[in-house]
Amino acid sequence: MAVNSKEDALKALSDVNPEHNFWVCDGGVLKSINDLLSVLKKMNKNVFQAHVNKEKNDFANWINDIIKDEKLAKELYMIKDRRKIISKVTQRIAWLKQKAK
């Protein structure tokens, strides 16, 4: 799904249904893209690498499959650096908030 409307942006920013929460390998739970950003900022290297490495990008998959933000997911698939992912997610949240107004 592309984020084309105010409703799409609000949905992308809101909490997902509990059955679609993202369970971080250290026990943390992500309910929204905002949760992802705050957890990424504190996440240690080992936890990050368990979810993002040469073989996979769990965060991009979750954003694509659950949040339904294909644009952000495509960008994140290519990034393996935590700081760069934080930057992309921060930019996207700002854009979504603007779109949701």
Which tens digit of pLDDT belongs to each residue from 67-98?
A: 999 999 999 999 999 999 999 999 999 999 99
Kindly tell me if the per-residue pLDDT of 1 is higher than 80: no
The CA distance from 54 to 70, in Å, is 20
pTM over 0.75: yes
Sign of the torsion angle spanned by Cα atoms 18, 24, 25, 27: negative
Long-range pairs for 11-14: beta carbons < 8 A, 24 or more residues apart: 11/68, 12/67, 12/68, 12/69, 12/96, 13/93, 13/96, 13/97, 13/100
Tell me the pLDDT tens digit for each residue of 24-83. 999 999 999 999 999 999 999 999 999 999 999 999 999 999 999 999 999 999 999 999
Tokens at residue 100, please?
A: 């949701």
